[in-house]
């Protein structure tokens, strides 16, 4: 037998050495299990902003040089100003201050000591006197009530997430062993603790989602795929494909993000489709030919056609790689890797297992057997689809106008959907770190800030310092969202008799008096400085408007020549995500359409045929926008991928319908009968495939992360829309395209 393609080579290898093929595949999967141990979870700014961009580089510099993250010890008691509680806090502070990477610790115990001549008050009367000596705003900030107070642990600037997580673990250990007085509870909170706990929740959520998705797959396959032997083989195939995907991710060093977690149930939902199609084709071929011939036919015939479906799905995911958000690019890349792995495992494992276990069809072809009864049940649904398609084919224009109108409304409503970039709303609302953070916010008031990064050859020049101070005062008086500001200029005034130094010599003299740890929080050498504006708490949409106002002010109130000033910080990053998501989701959708069209054109070499499957998909994308608006689901970094993912998933169904219709026309059928017969023949298979995909996507709804569960709701509806687009819209499009082609053929030659 002549060997002409990789599929024929693979087929011969499987036929001749099936055990060896399975051993090699098993070894690869076992190696992938080792790779899964290298998987890491990633949270924080690196998942939202590309570190190679100007924004990312600046944010890194600010974080490394100036930003000191804080961990809060939330202390609750019947009376936090009790002498025993105060003594406990003082002892706890001492233990914490000796920890590595801790820059400082402060609490009401420090302030009480300062107001009591350097000695910790030991009686109720001494504590009361010390509290009365403190400014009211300080007392209310640290002790909003006698039931709660906060100990602030300031970390050294530039600590990595791993280092911060280690500090959090050490503090949790210290708190556990601290032996607090009866009735006193201590919780470790703050952003580092939040990030660490979110990483733990992500690990738990990922495992839960995969188990739920696999469980739903077992149910779906058990009910919908009972006409073949070893019906649950497809579930095992997908599990192996998932392990292979995890292994590649682990060995490549790619971290798992909050968004990437959503990719795995998606892969299960899509990957089961490849396994079912190959298993079905193999079962079909074994009914009419020996197993070796069935293997060859399955691999050489079904392999390429399913490859086209897999590649068309990948086109939608590849479009995600243009996103400026690393987490979305990671989601797209994981999906591409996953669908390839699931396809390859299914193509190799199903035929090899079939030979090794001498596969026999579950039902024969004789009259009166169970298969005929099962086919009779399927035939009822096929007949329904045929009748529906026939009605659609008779009235294609009204149906397309109605569907297009709904899609048009959806595209309009899409612009009204809120873009949500508030990380707090993405995570489980009952996560202890979130609850404690809200307590901290209520206790200490707003902790939001907006840093301005100042760079130049000499930012400590008197002219630059004067500009910084003037810009601070201007923003404080003209921007209602800004509540205060701090920079090195404020401390120079403090150590220069209350006035701003006017010459460089005065400035240098005052700078020598500023404590080094204070100076380092606002100046890095002579080339970098920071202005920190305190702001009210606000939604990211409002913050974006405020930031744009500050940027506008920087344009007309420029710093001196040779000096630049740029807005940075985490608040700026999350606010900017609104623009990135709004712009990126449209770009990714357009790119996905272009990729799928180019891919189909390379296959068919005809513009009309290449564009035909794309038309229903455009409508489906519009329907998605409408359903999101109706359900009140926001655009997030995950739902922003919906357009591209829809194109990838729906293209498989529309292409299969089109291919079968063209096949029937090539066999001599007229246009409408060919379309009707084509849908009747494969409509059930597509529906079963779609329903198994729905079961996989439905697992997302079980996630404790709101960002993932909302994505699950929309994707389940999207798959339903994809089936409607393939079974209802696609036949109508095929009728119109067929008529145009027929009219073109009937045109007289010039």
- pLDDT tens digits, residue range 323-379? 877 888 888 888 899 989 999 999 999 999 989 888 887 765 433 344 444 454 556
Do 586 and 712 reside in the same domain of the chain?
Answer: yes
Mean pLDDT of 81-98: 87
Do 495 and 523 reside in the same domain of the chain?
Answer: yes
Mean pLDDT of 266-291: 82
Local structure of 352: helix, strand or coil = helix
Do 595 and 730 reside in the same domain of the chain?
Answer: yes
**Given this model, what pLDDT does residue 442 score?**
62
Highest average pLDDT, of 22-26, 129-133, 191-195, 257-261, comes from 22-26
Do 632 and 501 reside in the same domain of the chain?
Answer: no
Lowest mean pLDDT among 3-17, 51-65, 273-287: 51-65
Mean pLDDT of 468-479: 89
Do 37 and 106 reside in the same domain of the chain?
Answer: no
Backbone angles phi, psi at 153, to 5 degrees: -105, 110
* pLDDT above 60 for 395: yes
Q: What's the domain count of the chain? A: 4
Higher-scoring residue by pLDDT: 507, 431:
507
* pLDDT above 80 for 29: yes
* pLDDT above 80 for 577: no
213 occurs within a structural domain: no
Mean pLDDT of 627-655: 84
Q: What is the CA radius of gyration of the chain?
A: 32
255 occurs within a structural domain: yes
Overall residue count recorded for the chain in this entry: 750
**Residue 125 and residue 688: Cα distance in Å, rounded?**
77
**Given this model, what pLDDT does residue 379 score?**
61
Residue 169 CA, distance from chain mean position: 27
Contacts 24+ apart (CB under 8 A), 228-232: 228/279, 228/280, 228/283, 228/361, 228/362, 229/283, 229/359, 229/360, 229/361, 229/362, 230/279, 230/353, 230/357, 230/359
* pLDDT above 80 for 51: no
* pLDDT above 50 for 504: yes
**Residue 511 and residue 370: Cα distance in Å, rounded?**
92
Q: Which of 334, 362, 390 is the last residue of a domain?
A: 362
500 occurs within a structural domain: yes
Q: Which of 157, 180, 196 is the last residue of a domain?
A: 196
Do 538 and 681 reside in the same domain of the chain?
Answer: no
Structural domain harbouring 743: 370-434+582-750
* pLDDT above 90 for 30: yes
Check which CATH number belongs to the domain holding 146 and give it.
Answer: 3.30.70
- The whole-chain average pLDDT of the chain stands at 81
Lowest mean pLDDT among 535-539, 664-668, 674-678, 680-684: 680-684
**Which pLDDT tens digit goes with each residue over 692-732?**
778 777 877 877 777 788 888 888 888 888 888 888 888 88
Q: Is 154 exposed, middle or buried (0-12, 13-18, 19+ CB in 10 A)?
A: middle
Helices (H), 357-495: 370-394, 396-414, 432-444, 462-478, 488-494
**Residue 630 and residue 624: Cα distance in Å, rounded?**
10
Do 411 and 453 reside in the same domain of the chain?
Answer: no
**Which pLDDT tens digit goes with each residue over 119-159?**
888 888 888 888 887 777 677 767 777 788 888 888 877 67
Local structure of 567: helix, strand or coil = strand
Do 336 and 426 reside in the same domain of the chain?
Answer: no
Q: Which of 522, 540, 575 is the last residue of a domain?
A: 575
**Residue 746 and residue 274: Cα distance in Å, rounded?**
41
Do 689 and 655 reside in the same domain of the chain?
Answer: yes
Structure tokens, 506: 């005065």
* pLDDT above 90 for 689: no
């Amino acid at each position: 037998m002549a060997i002409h393609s990789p599929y024929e080579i693979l087929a011969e290898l499987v036929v001749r050495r099936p055990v060896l093929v399975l051993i090699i595949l098993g070894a690869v999967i076992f190696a992938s299990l080792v790779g899964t141990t290298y998987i890491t979870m990633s949270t924080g700014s690196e998942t939202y902003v590309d570190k190679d961009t100007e924004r990312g580089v600046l944010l890194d510099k600010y974080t490394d040089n100036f930003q000191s993250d804080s961990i809060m010890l939330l202390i609750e008691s019947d009376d936090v100003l009790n002498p025993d509680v105060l003594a406990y806090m003082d002892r706890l502070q001492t233990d914490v201050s000796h920890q590595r990477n801790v820059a400082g610790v402060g609490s009401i115990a420090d302030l009480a000591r300062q107001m009591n001549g350097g000695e910790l008050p030991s009686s109720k009367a001494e504590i009361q006197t010390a509290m009365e000596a403190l400014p009211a705003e300080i007392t209310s900030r640290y002790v909003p009530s006698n039931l709660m107070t906060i100990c602030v642990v300031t970390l050294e600037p530039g600590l990595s997430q791993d280092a911060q997580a280690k500090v959090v673990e050490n503090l949790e250990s210290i708190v556990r062993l601290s032996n607090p007085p009866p009735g006193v509870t201590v919780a470790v909170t703050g952003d580092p603790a939040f990030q660490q706990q979110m990483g733990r929740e992500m690990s738990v959520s990922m495992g839960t989602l995969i188990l739920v998705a696999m469980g739903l797959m077992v149910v779906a396959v058990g009910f919908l795929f009972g006409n073949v032997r070893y019906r649950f083989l497809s579930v095992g195939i997908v599990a192996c494909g998932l392990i292979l995907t995890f292994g590649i991710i682990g060995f490549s060093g790619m971290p798992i993000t909050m968004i990437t977690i959503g990719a795995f149930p998606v892969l299960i939902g899509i990957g089961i489709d490849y396994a079912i199609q190959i298993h079905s084709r193999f079962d079909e071929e074994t009914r009419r030919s020996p197993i070796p011939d069935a293997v060859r036919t399955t691999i050489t015939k079904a392999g390429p056609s399913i490859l086209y479906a897999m590649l068309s799905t990948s086109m939608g995911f590849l479009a995600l790689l243009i996103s400026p958000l690393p987490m979305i690019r990671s989601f797209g890349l994981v999906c591409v890797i996953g669908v390839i792995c699931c396809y390859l495992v299914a193509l190799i494992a199903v035929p090899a297992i079939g030979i090794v276990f001498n596969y026999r069809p579950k039902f024969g072809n004789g009259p009166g057997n169970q298969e005929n009864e099962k086919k009779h049940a399927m035939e009822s649904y096929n007949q329904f689809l045929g009748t529906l398609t026939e009605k659609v084919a008779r009235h294609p224009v009204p149906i397309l106008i109605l569907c297009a109108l709904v899609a048009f409304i959806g595209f309009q409503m899409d612009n009204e959907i809120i873009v949500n970039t508030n990380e707090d709303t993405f995570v489980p609302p009952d996560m202890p770190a979130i609850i404690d953070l809200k307590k901290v916010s209520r206790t200490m008031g707003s902790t939001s800030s907006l840093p301005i990064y100042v760079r130049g050859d000499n930012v400590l020049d008197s002219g630059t310092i004067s500009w910084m101070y003037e810009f601070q005062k201007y923003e404080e008086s003209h921007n209602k969202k800004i509540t205060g500001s701090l920079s090195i200029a404020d401390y120079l005034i403090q150590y220069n008799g209350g006035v701003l130094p006017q010459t460089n010599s005065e400035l240098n003299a005052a700078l020598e008096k500023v404590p080094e740890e204070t100076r380092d929080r606002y100046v890095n050498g002579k080339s970098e400085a920071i202005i920190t504006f305190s702001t009210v708490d606000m939604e990211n949409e409002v913050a974006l408007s405020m930031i744009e106002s500050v940027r506008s002010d920087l344009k007309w109130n420029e710093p001196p020549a040779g000096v630049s000033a740029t807005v940075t910080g985490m608040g700026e990053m999350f606010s900017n995500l609104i623009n990135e998501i709004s712009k990126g989701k449209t770009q990714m959708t357009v790119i996905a359409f272009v990729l799928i069209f180019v891919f189909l054109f390379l296959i068919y070499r005809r513009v009309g045929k290449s564009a035909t499957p794309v038309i229903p998909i455009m409508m489906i994308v519009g329907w998605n926008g409408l359903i999101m608006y109706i359900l009140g689901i926001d655009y997030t970094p995950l739902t922003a991928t919906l357009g591209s993912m829809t194109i990838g998933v729906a293209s498989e169904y529309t292409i299969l319908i089109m291919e079968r219709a063209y096949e029937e026309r090539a066999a001599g059928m007229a246009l409408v009968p060919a379309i009707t017969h084509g849908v009747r023949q494969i409509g059930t298979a597509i529906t079963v495939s779609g329903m198994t995909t729905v079961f996989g996507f439905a697992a997302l709804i079980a996630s404790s992360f709101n960002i993932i569960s909302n994505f699950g709701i929309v994707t389940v509806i999207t798959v339903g829309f994809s089936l409607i687009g393939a079974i209802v819209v696609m036949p109508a499009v095929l009728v119109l395209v067929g008529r145009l082609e027929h009219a073109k053929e009937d045109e007289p030659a010039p």
